[in-house]
A and B are shown apart, each in its own frame.
Chain A
């Protein structure tokens, strides 16, 4: 089953605007990670936020984590057409057999010129 659920499922904005995607999850986690996938390609890691962190920045990306609400958000500022892709959150949990990432269903972002 999917641990993370992204919202919205699809988002269309104009170049230069900010894009915000949200992720909700159900169980306790070690960390939460955001990935990007261009159409038909593999996933690229964007940012990792640990369970004891509340906010993290990387370039134009800002991620927040609220463990009390079991939610996270990804903000892309000053979006570009090249940011068009699907974005996934993934919750990381250590089990007896090793670390496992559970992915959400993703948000499809389209940035128009």
Chain B
């Protein structure tokens, strides 16, 4: 099965500072990769997904961007954080088949002050 690594586990950043969250995947090749954000007590909102290196699809307009420099590396970034960027960020990976389960990383809890 796949293993998803995310770091850091928690992060406190001031408004206006940059952000870089990294996700790496083990146990698969050429996965579809996803970034989700979860507000407290809420469901998951899909932010970005990628079907291959350099291919990024954005689901919602926002202050964030994503990049996929390597097959099993997915990065979430921001040039200037907003208070509304606070939340729990989850990276996920799945195979290409539509009948594959999605594996999630442990998440990063971001607090913007």
Could you tell me if B102 and A105 are in contact, using CB atoms closer than 8 angstroms? no
**Chain B stretch 90-108: residues in CB contact (< 8 A) with chain A:** 90, 92, 94, 96, 98-107
Complex partner residue of A43 from B45, B59, B90, B100, CB under 8 angstroms: B90
Q: Is the interface of B mostly helix, strand, loop or mixed?
A: strand
Q: Is the interface of A mostly helix, strand, loop or mixed?
A: strand
Chain B 28-46: CB-based contact to A (< 8 A → 1; otherwise 0): 0000101010000011111
Could you tell me if A99 and B98 are in contact, using CB atoms closer than 8 angstroms? yes
**Chain A stretch 89-113: residues in CB contact (< 8 A) with chain B:** 90, 92, 94, 97-106
Q: Which residues of A contact B103 (CB under 8 A)?
A: 45
Could you tell me if A2 and B90 are in contact, using CB atoms closer than 8 angstroms? no
Q: Which residues of B contact A98 (CB under 8 A)?
A: 32, 49, 51, 57
A50 at the interface (CB under 8 A from B): yes
Complex partner residue of B101 from A41, A45, A100, CB under 8 angstroms: A45
Most chain A CB atoms below 10 A, which of B42, B45, B102: B102
Chain B residues near A (Cβ < 8 Å): 4, 32, 34, 36, 42-46, 49, 51, 57, 59, 88, 90, 92, 94, 96, 98-107, 109
* 13 A-B residue pairs with CB within 8 Å: A2-B43, A40-B109, A42-B104, A43-B44, A43-B90, A44-B104, A45-B101, A97-B57, A99-B32, A99-B94, A99-B96, A101-B92, A104-B43
